[in-house]
Chain A
C-alpha cells in the first residue's frame, strides 16, 4: 500500500519565482496536513483539511502561501512569490481520523531552497 507521496523531493529556485508542492494522501484518509520544518522553528503546522475542506489555515505565514485540495487524492501548497526565508522542508501528512486518537502518516518531504 502506497504511503503519502510528495513531489518534488527537492526544489531549487530563485527569489520571486512561484513554487508548487504536491501531495497525494493515503487513499481513504480524510485529514490532510501541511507542515514546514526548519532548524530555527522546528515543525510548524501550516494548514489542514478535513474531507477536502480547509479547517485551520492560521499557520500559513502570509498571503504568499496558499493551499488547495481539489479532491480527496490531491493537494497543493503554492508559494508566490518565493523568498529565501521560505527555504525549508515541507511535509504533507494524512490521517484517517482526528489526530488525537490516531496516527499521522508523513510523506518524505519536499526540500525547498530559494536562492
Chain B
C-alpha cells in the first residue's frame, strides 16, 4: 500500500543554516505530495504541495520537488529562522481521498 518515510528527528540547526528534510514515498499511480507543518500547540497546516512529477511546490522560502524517478519529495530551505521551529510532515494522497502522513520530523532552530 501507499506509504511515506521521512527522516527521523529531531533536527537542530543554527539560524540561517540550510535545511533538508528527506521524504520518500511508495505509491501506486500518481499521487499528489504535500508538506504540512505543525507549530507547538496547533493543528497541522499545509506548507506546500505538488500534484505531478517535476512540479516544485514552494511557500515561505521552503521548496520541494516531486521526483518520480527517485520517489522523493525532500523539503529544503536556504536559511532557516527561529520561527521555523516546528514539526514537519510529508504526506501523499491516498486512493480513497485521505492523506497518508509520515511520522513527522521535529526541527529546532537556535538563535
Contact = CB atoms under 8 A, between A and B. Distances in A.
Interface of A: 4, 31, 33, 42-43, 45, 48, 50, 55-56, 91, 93, 98-101, 103-109
B32 interface: yes
Interface residues of B, number: 22
A42 B103 contact: yes
B99 A104 contact: yes
B96 A108 contact: no
Interface string B72-98: 000000000000000001000110111
Given A101-B32, A106-B45, 12 more contacts: A4-B43, A31-B97, A33-B98, A43-B103, A45-B98, A48-B96, A48-B98, A100-B94, A101-B93, A104-B44, A104-B99, A107-B43
Contacts of A93: 43-44
Classify the secondary structure of A's interface with B: strand
Contacts of B102: 42
B44 A106 contact: yes
Contacts, number: 57
B30 to A, nearest CB: 10
Interface string B40-80: 01111110010100000000000000000000000000000
A32 B4 CA distance: 22
Given A91-B43, A104-B46, A108-B41, A42 B104 contact: yes
A99 B93 contact: yes
B106 to A, nearest CB: 11
Nearest to B30: A100
B98 to A, nearest CB: 5
Given A33-B98, A42-B102, A55-B96, A100 B32 contact: yes
